[in-house]
Amino acid sequence: MKKQPTLPATQTPHMLDFISHSPAQTERIGQRLGELVAPGDVLLLMGDFGVGKTHLVKGAVRGLGSSDLVTSPSFVLINEYQTQAHPRKLTIYHVDLYRIDDPHELAGIGLEELWESQGVCLIEWAERAEEWLPADHLTIYMQHLAETKRVLRFVPHGVRYQQLVNAFKDEAFG
C-alpha cells in the first residue's frame, strides 16, 4: 500500500498554513501563486485523492498566463502547457506520479531535465520521487479538513522558496 502524505508536525518561521473553503478558492490560491513563480521553479504537491492538487495546478497554470486546458496527467505522467502572457514563452510541466510504485521506475523519464529547464515544474504525488527531487523547492501539503475545506501548508526549501512564500503572504494577506 502506498504511503499517504500528511502535514509535517514541526512548524518553521517560513511555513504558511491556511484553509481553502472550496475548489474555486483552491484554484484562486493557485492562480495567485502562479503569478509569483519564476522560470525554473519546482512546486511539489502532496495530499490524498480528491484533496484539490489538480485544482491548485489549474489556478497556477492560469496565473502563469496559460489558457491551456489542465487535466490530470495520471496516465501519461507529464502534461506540458505553454504560456502566452509571459515576457517570453514558458513551458509549464505538470507531473503526476500517482502510478509510480517504485522510485526506480522514474529512471530515464527525464525528471531532472524538467527542473533544469527554464520552465515551471508542478509535481503531484511528489513523495513517490523523493530521491529524485531537487533540494530547493516549495512543498505544498494539502489535507482534507471537511467535505469542501482543505488545509494547505506551504513549506519552502531554500532561499528562493522562502522569498516566494513571503511574496505570497504579502499578496494574499497584505
Q: What is the pLDDT of residues 98-123, one digit of tens each?
A: 888 877 777 777 777 887 888 999 99
Segment 35-90, tens digit of pLDDT? 999 999 999 999 998 999 999 999 999 999 998 989 876 677 889 999 876 566 88
DSSP state of 36: T
Cα-to-chain-centroid distance, residue 69: 17
| Region of residue 164 (left: phi > 0; alpha: psi -120 to 50; beta: else) | alpha
Segment 28-37, tens digit of pLDDT? 999 999 999 9
Q: 159, exposed or middle or buried, with CB in 10 Å at 0-12, 13-18, 19+?
A: exposed
DSSP state of 80: E
Domain map (residue ranges) of the chain: 17-101+109-173
Half-sphere exposure of 127 (CA within 13 A, CB side): 15
CATH class label, 17-101+109-173: alpha beta
Q: Which residue has the higher pLDDT, 124 or 172?
A: 124
Q: What is the pTM of this model?
A: 0.89
